[in-house]
Every structure is written in C-alpha cells, then in structure tokens.
Structure 1
Amino acid sequence: MAQDIEMPALGESVTEGTVSRWLKKVGDQVAVDEPLLEVSTDKVDSEVPSPIAGVITEILVEEDETVDVGTVVCRVGAADEVGATAPAAPAAPAADETPAPAAAPAASPVPAAPAGGSAPAGGGQAVEMPALGESVTEGTVSRWLKKVGDKVAVDEPLLEVSTDKVDSEVPSPIAGVVTEILVQEDETVDVGTVLCRVGDSAAAPAETSVPAAPEASATPSAPAAPAAPPVPAAPPAPSLPENPAELPGAGIPSSIKREGDHHVVQWAYPQVHTGYPGTMTARGQVVPPSDNAPAVPAAPAAPPAPKDVETPAAPKPPAAPPAPAAPKAPAAPTPPAAAPSAKPADKPQAAKQVSGGYVTPIVRKLAREKGVDISTLKGSGVGGRIRREDVLAAAQKPPAAPAAAPETPAAALPPIQPAQERGKTEKLSRMRQTIAKHMMNSLASTAQLTTVVEVDVTRIANLRARAKDSFAQREGTKLSFLPFFVKAAVEALKAHPKINSRVNDETNEVTYFDHENVGIAVDSEKGLMVPVIKNCGDLTIAAIARKINELAAKVRDGSISIDEMSGGTFSITNTGSRGALFDTPVVNYPEEAILGLGTIVRRPMVVKDSEGNDTIAVRSLVYLALSYDHRLIDGADAARYLTTVKKRLEEGDFSAEVGM
C-alpha cells in the first residue's frame, strides 16, 4: 500500500505551506531521503524528502497550491507491492497460453505486471504533506516535478511544497511509479494529507498489459499477441539509469530535517542514498530497472535467456502476427541495449536544462564546499538533474590551467551580456510572492521614514586588517566588518528600548523586549531572507561572526529551518555589500526598526590632529541608515540611537574581542 507524504510543519507559527515546485512526477522512482518537492512559507523555502523508497503513485497538491500542515501532497508506493501480487496474476495468462510454448507464458507472467497494475489503481504507497516546522499545520503544492506514470527513485523529488516560512521538496519514500496525484498545484492542504501515491516500478506498465486479457479472449489464435503486451512492460525501465555497475557512491544525504515532534512521516532518515532509480529491496539492495522488467526470471540464470528466445521462435513461424511479438519477448535481454540508446538522446536535453534547471540544496551545498561552479556541469540524473556524483567528479578534475590566457585580455572589460530572462514572461516564484506580500503589508501597517548618519570606521578597518588572519585560524571563520556593526547596534538597543520593541495594534500596547534577536538579511537565489541570531546581545564578536556565516550558508544551500527564520526583534541589512552608499530599507514588520549598512569607502575628511587643529586625512567612511515606525519612534529617538552606534564604532575598543 502506498505511503502518504504530508505537508510538514516548517516552524512554530506556520500552519500552512505552498508547493513551489515538484521535483518528481507520477511514475518517477525515488530513493529514501531524496527530495520530492519544494515547499515555501513566508520565511523560508525547504525541500520535502521521501521517507521511503518507491514510485510516486499520486500527486495530490499541484504547484503554487497552499495547503495546511498535515495535508497529503502525494503518495509513494512500496517497492515490494508488485512483487507480492505479480505471481498471482500471471497464473491466469499462463493457463491461456496452453500452446506448446508453455515456457513462454511462464516468462511473460512474471514481467506482465498486471497484478502490479492493479496495485497502483488502488494506490501504492501514500506520500503525505510533511511537517515542515514546529507550528506549521498546512502546506501548498507549488509544483509537481513528476506526473502520473513517471518512474521515481528512492529520495527523488516528487513535488515542491511551500508554506509561509519555507519552500521545500518532498522526495519519494520508495522507488516505483507515480500512480495517482491527489492534490493539485496551488492547492493548500493540512500536514498529513496524502498528496500522491507511488506504486512499484512494475505498476505503470501494468496499464498496457491489461488489454492483453481482452485480446486473448477475442481471438484464440492470437494468444501470442497478448503475451507480448506484458513484455512491453519493460519499456519504461530502459529510460531509467544504466546498470548496477554504474551505481553512484553511497552517502548520507543532508536534507533539511523536519522540525517539531509531529507524528507525520519521518522525511529525513540517515539512509544510504544511491541516487539510482531502481527498486529498493527489503535488504536495502537496489535492483536496476532492467531487472525490474520481465528480465527478472531470466536474470538469475544466463541459460534461460536463450531458452526464452527459442520458445517464441518455435510457435511464431506458423503465424505471421506472432512473429513481430517475438522480438518483444526477447525484450528481457534487449533493455540494456535500449537503455544506452535512450540515454544519448536524453543527454543533450539534460545539458540544455542544466543552465536553467533546478539543483537541490544538498548538491548546491556540496558544490560550494568543493568549489565547483554548478553552471559548468552537465547533469547525469533524470531530466538532466545535477547529482552529487557530478559535483564530486568535477571536484576531482585538475583545475583548468588557462589562467594565463584570461590575464592577457584582462585589460579590456568584456561587454555586458544580456540576461536569459530578457524578453520572457514568467510566473513569480512563491518566495517572491511572499516577499511582495510582506513588503506591502509593512508599508501599509507602519509610518516609515529613514534617518542617516556618517561613521568613521578607520580604527575598525585597521584593527580588522591586523586581526583577520589570526582570527580566522583561531575561530575557524572569516572576520568581516558586519560583526562589528552588529555588536555596536545590539549594545545601543539596550540603551534605546524603543528601537527594540513591538506595537500591538489590537490592544494599543507596546512591548519593550529584554532580549535582542537580530535578523540578518541574506541575499539568496530565491530572494531576500532574514535568518535570526537569537539572544545576540549576549554574544561576542567572534560568536556573532560564526553565527552570521553559519546562517548565511544555510540560507544559500536551502537548509535553513523555519525556527531559524522566526522571532526577530530588530533587523540589519548590509546593502553596502553590493556597493550601495546607503539605502532606505523597509522595516521587517512587525518589528519597529531596521538598520541599513552602506559600503565602506576611502575618501578625504576634515579631522583633528594631535594638537587639536583641523587637517585633511583619508579615512574609511560608511553611512548607517535607520528606517523606523514613526507611530512609536520619533526622529529624535532615531538620531539618539544612531549617535550611540556611531560613538561605539568610532571610539570603542574591540581589540580584546578579536584577540589583539
């Protein structure tokens, strides 16, 4: 029976999620812990991995559909479903095939997955909407990556799910075929709702083998023809990856883990991820597609293969129609040959899809760690997906030595190339829609304005230059300017509680927080995300630096959790990292203020010398811009806060905190 894959809880206060994109479609095989879909919420995008290996039998929530936590988004069928029923159904065809080639019926019944076909019709393993966070109760199917009839491998993404906080993929728990999709794209369902069902890999071919019975009863002379349809059950298999000898290296995937104690399917098991879309046996062995096909009986013993060929050859001469069926009977040995032919055809397509194709956060993180440029890779996975094996292979290649060549023409700046999106019309991503909604809500709910001051950070620049190397060796992380700004901003919050407060519009009350949870805006491929450093006021510069780098890495590789995106009381955005002098950032509502950091520039400035005389010197200067809610914070309040930050940065001593 198929296992339901539910919309997971993605955070403490998240009750629903939106399916951003399906990474698998019905019929696709998935491996354990392989991403099925992407789910998005107001705060974060996340993948939903499959708890079991099998085939996607049904997708119940479509892309861009928002459903409650616990809603079943798809179903994944167990790998052994068809295996249990296959022997029963074939018995009937064997009786019909009474002719001399009794051996032929025996071979066809096993592959003729009629019994398997009935399983998908009834379901297969259900894939449910997973819990994507502690308080998330629903999710939306953003996009189905697989459709009914598609084969999936264990842990291969089926669909994308989104919530208010995160987008995530839902992987297939088993290898098999998607037999049913129960939740359409843009539909929002509760966590635990069955999204689709995945049956065994033999389930999909079963539909083609059903007509075999009617044909047999229609003409007694054509029993051989019915026997052939069951054999074609193999065609889907050749389209899958090659033979077991080429199985990718095993490894424990590091997909996003489910938050909270929801009793929904556990979608982050420490299983061995083969990345191979075959059928997972009870012992954890992967049976390649060619073995899932009618070749199962022939594979155990090499001799049977010739026997099968002889059998169809004997009865076929008398009748011309059966003759064409003969080539289909030997389909068992043929798959290996067909697979290679299909693969080359898919390769060029894969290469084209890589540039605009989806890369799972796990693979993206691995590429970042290995220093591999994903845009230069050609995926070897289904549909051209870039797999971890592709990244590892690229990492092992010696670095290209054409360094000298580029240096020569470096004198001339290459012309600006037009972006791929130019001239296109496409739908806004779920994350982009969420950001837009939050920005408009913030501007509509608060009276915002911005105050700017200029700060001389020459002392900090000199201190950082002296300490950054030893700091990196000692702390294991880089020392940027940002931790200094965060430290000064947090200390000033303690002295100016209005900036670190929240207004309750319903009760007309204001709460002044006794802790500083600082959100750090991070630029990612999916859009601006704001992970939160909890109790930042208690941390040292070293601890702040580590936390910033850790959260930024999680955002960019897609492993950030909903809880790490929630609970902020004040935010900081570093627009200067892209060269902006200053900005007027939008307050991250319901917070009351946000601090924007401009780029640090060297320019002449009038300063006092040791004797108190005015002199001109080149200094490191930066603009700090504070946007705030004028309903509570006045311009004078903002100016006083910025002055405190300015004095701390210009006159404070951070030497001890950086080990100097």
Structure 2
Amino acid sequence: MPVSVTMPRLGESVTEGTVTRWLKQEGERVEADEPLLEVSTDKVDTEIPSPAAGVLTRIVVGEDETAEVGSELAVIAGEGEDAGAAAPAPAEQPAAEAEPEPAALTTPSTEKPVEEEAPAPQTASAGSSEGTEIKLPALGESVTEGTVTRWLKQVGETVEADEPLLEVSTDKVDTEIPSPVAGTVLEIKVGEDETAEVGAVLAVIGTPGSAPAAAPAPSQAPAPQAEPKPEPKPEPKQEAPAQPAPQPRIESAPAPQIGESYATPTPAAETKQPAAPAQPAAPAAETVKSNGAGDAGYVTPLVRKLAAEKGVDLSTLSGTGVGGRIRKQDVLDAAEQARSAAPTAKPTANAPVETTTEQRKAQAKAEPSPLRGRTEKLTRIRATIARRMVESLQVSAQLTTVVEVDVTKIANLRNKAKADFQAKHGVKLTFLPFFALATVEALQQHPVVNSSIDVEAGTVTYHGAEHLGIAVDAPRGLVVPVIKDAGDLNLGGLAKRISDVAERTRNNKIGPDELGGGTFTLTNTGSRGALFDTPIINQPQVGILGLGAVVKRPVIVNDPELGEIIAPRSMVYLALSYDHRIVDGADAARFLGTLKERLEGGHFEADLGL
C-alpha cells in the first residue's frame, strides 16, 4: 500500500520547513531509512529518511518550496511483498522477526543446524547479565529516534568509561554518545546509517578483556563458502539474508560495494567482508550511486558549504563514511593538509631558509577566497537572519547609546588569576564572563531592559529571570544560543556555560531548544577588533549590548597625589541598543551607569578566589 512521506517536527518552535534538495526522483527505488530529501528550517538543516522501502511515485513539494509540519511531501508505493512488509514494519517488527525462524526450519533440512546456531546470537545479545546494554538516550524533548552515523569503536575493541563510543544524528543535533562503562565491545546491534528509537539497544559492552559475543561470527560466516576455515559449522548462504539481526547485515553488506576502503580502517573486518552475501550488495551499490554527487559520493549540505568555505574540491576526496560518504571531518582534514602543505611548498620554491613565519602568514592571507565571482542561493539560516534583522528594525524603535569603561582593574585581576582559573574550571578566563556577570546584575536592578512589550495587548512583561543570549559566529551564520537563568550563576559558572554553548554552536551540536527563550543578548564584536557597533535587537527582546575591543591607550586619570595625569589604561566601549517604545534614554543611561560602575570597581576577587 502507498506510504505518505510527511514533514516531521524538527523542533518545538519549528512550524515549517523548506525542501532544499530531493535525493531521489520520481520512479527511483528507495530503501527504508535511506535519505530521501534535505529540509532546511530556521534552526537546522537535516535529511529526511524514507519511512518505507518502495518506489518514489510522486513528489508533492518541490525543491525550494516550503511545507508545514505534518503536510505531505511525497508518496512511496511498495513493490510486491516488499511494499506489504514496509507499511506495517514499524508496528509489527517483533512479530515479523519471530515468524521466519520456524518457517526456515521446515523448508530445507540443511538449514536446521543453522537455525540451531541462529538463536545463539540473540541470546547473547539479549543477555544483559554478560554485558552492559548501551541504549539510545533521549536527545531532546521532541526527539524520538536517532541515526547512527559512525561507530568510533568496533566489535572486540576496548572502550573506557565516558569515552566517545558512537556518533548519532537526529532531527535537531549531531552528537557523540559516550560509553557509560569500561569494557570490550561485544556486539553492535544498530549499524551505521541505521535509525533506532530512543531507548533501543545500540550495543553490548562486556567486562574488560572479555571476548566478543558469538553473534557476529555465525551470522556473518554462513555467507562464505570459499572461506569456511575460521567458521566451519555454518556453511549455507540461504540463512544470511533471512536473519533479522541488524549488525551482521551492516558489517557484511557494504563490503562488496566499497572494497578496500573498509579494509583500511578496520583490519579485523578484512576477513569477514568478502563473505558478504551478493544480494544486499547490489541495492547498496545502487544507493551509493543514486545518492552520489559525481565521484565525490553523497554529500550533505553542511559538508558542501564547509567545503566551499575551506576551498576543498569534493571530487578529490575519498569519504570515510558508510558507502564512501564524505563526512565533515574529511573536509576538515583535507583543508588542514592543504594549509600545512602550502607553507612548505612555497618556501621550497622560493627561499626555504630565509622565509619567516610572518612571511608565511602574509602569503596565506594573500590567497583569494574561493567565493569570489560566485553567485549562490541563500541558505535557509542566512535568509532567516536577513528577514529577522529587517523585521526587528521595522517592529521596534531602536536607538543606541555608547559609554566608555575603564577595565584596567579587571585586566590586572585577569592576568593574575587566569592560570589558576583555567586549572580549576577547565576554560580560559576572558573578559566576556566579567561583562556577562555585570550585565545580569544590572538587569536585576533595571528590569525594564529585561522586558518584552506587546503593543496589541497593551502590556509589558518584566521577566523574572535573566536568560542571556550569546551571539556566536558559527560556520553556518550568526547563531544566538541562550544561557538560561544566567542570573543564578557566578563568574566561573558563566565562563563554563559560555564556552560550552559557543563550542557546541560552532560544531552544530547545539539543540534547537537552546536557541530560544532569551530575554537579553550580548554580542562580542570586539573579538574581531571592532571598537564598537550599533547591534540590532533580537526580537522580542528590548535590549542588546555590544562589547567592543579592550585596547590600551593613554587616558587622563585623577591621581590623589599628582592630580590629573596621563596613564595607559585598558579601555572598552559598550554599546546598548534598546527599544525606545518601552526603554527611555534615561533608563538606558542608568543601566549603562550601573554596568560601568560595577566594571570599573573591579571587585571580582571573591569570584576568582583571591
């Protein structure tokens, strides 16, 4: 029966998405959980997998068209028995797996010994007494499933507690799943590019030094007749396709289509991969070709954008992902190799001895950007930023007030305590945590700057907590993650939270729920050397504070003994843009005055343990 592909919910506040690319066209075959299309929302760019196997008979929403959550995107029609199995597969999976075993026992008499061996892997994998089951954790309130994109450990390898075990991709985030215990990977139940529900068992880890479970051997070895030496018992090949265990199919099926690319990273799998059945190889190879982009293989939008920014030619890369897929790390590695090779190549051709580090940097800066002369379609997030910035200026009456602050005392405290601070908290002590702490304290004294206005209802809401947004310059554009209840954190807590959300935002691992709900925003334009700017308010907030660069310059100061003297001081400009509909100029001046007094006083010794 036909299966309808609908737009999933990609976040609590996401109501629609734009189809950026169809990975399959009408009339093409698609497998269950195979990437079908790419969708872009205001927060994330992601792939939508096919809910069933069959033929894509109709595309309802074309590329660059927007559809609401729950609306129909395409229709997939089943083919013969496969179509019938695809529709009820999610609901009847346990029953479907239980029935083939007695059927297989009664058909050929030669399969009886194999069937007696088949339950062994199921018992070993299910028996948690011999190992610890690794389950897919909840990765967000609205996330119900995740796709395993890469296993960082293979069967038989040891893993330490809290060491990254695998990478999982969901509709919202891409993240690593750490191992909860130390031990040996006995079994992998969900292979790469397979989707599992939250709570599903992904792998089994035994005690350190324990042997891998017998599950992979009998199920992988039945396929080969040419190599029965390691596993002489299971000879028939008929049972390999019939067994429902997910891991054997994942490890054996890709081997015929990729060849030596799997043998390089995993030598242990080299003897098992030639034993893969020929039947799964054909559709797998078709998947790689149909999803491919020339010789480079299938590439996600994030990887394509990253390659353009780094100047990497995707056609020259060999992907390390499943099916030869080019991953983000492949692009980063290629860019790093090109960067490291460039300085060595140029001195060799010119003057290898006399070329200095400064000259190499100058040569690298002189290289033109690969984006010169190109016209590209706006990404969804860039189009969203453009629209919201214009809307913000149209909705609110924005005005910017700038003050100059002497942060010499903070600079001295920072130089004195930064080594101990990093050793204690694990993050560098920058000026930003000082500004953030002073800001939330000032917001508590001046709640009008920490409010929101509803003109239609004729109301103003003074927020009871300080949810501080931090503008982050991420590869995909300007993103503002929010630190909830920032007013409850001390200097060390703010420093760690700022470092954490900034890093996860740049690595595209921030959750959609962490990108909303802010009541006030900080933007550190001084990190790029700007003295100050006039930032645009992030609606529906009524204020945003721009932090300029901290620079040393001569300033006239009052000395108790010498009077007015000129001395070098660490100075910074703070620019407050505010909504003049609710915040008056005097309110803004009072807020900045409180902020200036707190920073120039420099009384942060208690927060630094001095």
Q: What is the CA–CA distance in structure 2 between the aligned matches of 1:597 and 1:483, rounded to whole Å? A: 12
2:459 is equivalent to residue 460 of structure 1: no
Q: Which amino acid aligns with 2:317?
A: K
Q: Which amino acid aligns with 2:494?
A: I
Aligned position for 1:474: 424
The normalised TM-score by structure 1 is 0.56
* Helix, strand or coil at the partner of 1:499: helix
Q: Cα–Cα, structure 1 residues 46 and 429, in superposed 2: closer, same or farther, change >3 Å?
A: closer
2:410 is equivalent to residue 410 of structure 1: no
Q: How far is 1:256 from its partner? A: 3.6
Q: Deviations along 1:615-650, whole A, 9 cap, x unmatched?
A: 221111111000011111111111111111111111
* Helix, strand or coil at the partner of 1:359: helix
Q: What is the CA–CA distance in structure 2 between the aligned matches of 1:63 and 1:419, rounded to whole Å? A: 29
Q: How far is 1:360 from its partner? A: 8.8
Q: Which amino acid aligns with 1:16?
A: E
Q: Deviations along 1:144-185, whole A, 9 cap, x unmatched?
A: xxxxxxxxxx9599xxxxxxxxxxxxx9xxxxxxxxxxxxxx
Q: Deviations along 1:202-253, whole A, 9 cap, x unmatched?
A: xxxxxxxxxxxxxxxxxxxxxxxxxxxxxxxxxxxxxxxxxxxxxxxx9632
Q: What is the CA–CA distance in structure 1 between the aligned matches of 2:23 and 2:557, rounded to whole Å? A: 59
Q: Sequence identity, in percent? A: 47
Aligned position for 1:650: 600
Q: Cα–Cα, structure 1 residues 257 and 480, in superposed 2: closer, same or farther, change >3 Å?
A: farther
Q: How far is 1:288 from its partner? A: 2.9
Query: Are the aligned partners of 1:31 and 1:155 in contact in 2 as well (CA < 8 Å)?
Result: no
Q: What is the CA–CA distance in structure 2 between the aligned matches of 1:472 and 1:3, rounded to whole Å? A: 55
* Helix, strand or coil at the partner of 2:603: coil
Q: What is the CA–CA distance in structure 1 between the aligned matches of 2:165 and 2:53, rounded to whole Å? A: 18
Map 1:241-252; keep pairs closer than 5 Å. Answer: 252=166
Aligned position for 1:119: none
Q: What is the CA–CA distance in structure 1 between the aligned matches of 2:243 and 2:30, rounded to whole Å? A: 13
2:247 is equivalent to residue 282 of structure 1: no
Aligned position for 1:427: 377
2:71 is equivalent to residue 71 of structure 1: yes
Aligned position for 1:490: 440
Map 1:632-651; keep pairs closer than 5 Å. Answer: 632-651=582-601
* Alignment counterpart, residue 386 of structure 1, candidates 292, 317, 326: 326
Aligned position for 2:488: 538
Q: Cα–Cα, structure 1 residues 558 and 379, in superposed 2: closer, same or farther, change >3 Å?
A: farther
Query: Are the aligned partners of 2:53 and 2:83 in contact in 1 as well (CA < 8 Å)?
Result: no
Q: Cα–Cα, structure 1 residues 535 and 251, in superposed 2: closer, same or farther, change >3 Å?
A: closer
Q: What is the CA–CA distance in structure 2 between the aligned matches of 1:411 and 1:633, rounded to whole Å? A: 48
Q: How far is 1:64 from its partner? A: 2.9
Q: What is the CA–CA distance in structure 1 between the aligned matches of 2:68 and 2:593, rounded to whole Å? A: 46
Q: Deviations along 1:381-415, whole A, 9 cap, x unmatched?
A: 58974237848998999x96998868824343226
Aligned position for 1:598: 548
Q: How far is 1:490 from its partner? A: 0.7
Structure 1 runs not aligned, ≥5 long: 86-131, 137-153, 158-170, 172-249, 260-264, 274-278, 293-299, 306-331, 365-371
Q: How far is 1:480 from its partner? A: 1.9
Query: Are the aligned partners of 2:54 and 2:83 in contact in 1 as well (CA < 8 Å)?
Result: no
Q: Deviations along 1:542-592, whole A, 9 cap, x unmatched?
A: 221222222222222222222111111111111111111101001111111
2:303 is equivalent to residue 359 of structure 1: yes
Map 1:308-387; keep pairs closer than 5 Å. Answer: 349-350=295-296, 358-359=302-303, 378-380=317-319, 385-387=325-327
Q: How far is 1:439 from its partner? A: 1.0
Aligned position for 2:119: none
Query: Are the aligned partners of 2:30 and 2:36 in contact in 1 as well (CA < 8 Å)?
Result: no
Q: What is the CA–CA distance in structure 2 between the aligned matches of 1:391 and 1:31, rounded to whole Å? A: 28
Query: Are the aligned partners of 1:573 and 1:594 in contact in 2 as well (CA < 8 Å)?
Result: yes
Map 1:497-508; keep pairs closer than 5 Å. Answer: 497-508=447-458
Q: Which amino acid aligns with 2:17?
A: G
Q: Cα–Cα, structure 1 residues 442 and 494, in superposed 2: closer, same or farther, change >3 Å?
A: same
Structure 2 runs not aligned, ≥5 long: 86-138, 151-163, 174-194, 204-240, 258-271
- Higher RCO by CA contacts (8 Å cutoff, separation 6 or greater): 1
Q: How far is 1:424 from its partner? A: 2.2
Q: How far is 1:420 from its partner? A: 2.2
Q: Deviations along 1:450-470, whole A, 9 cap, x unmatched?
A: 000111112212222222222
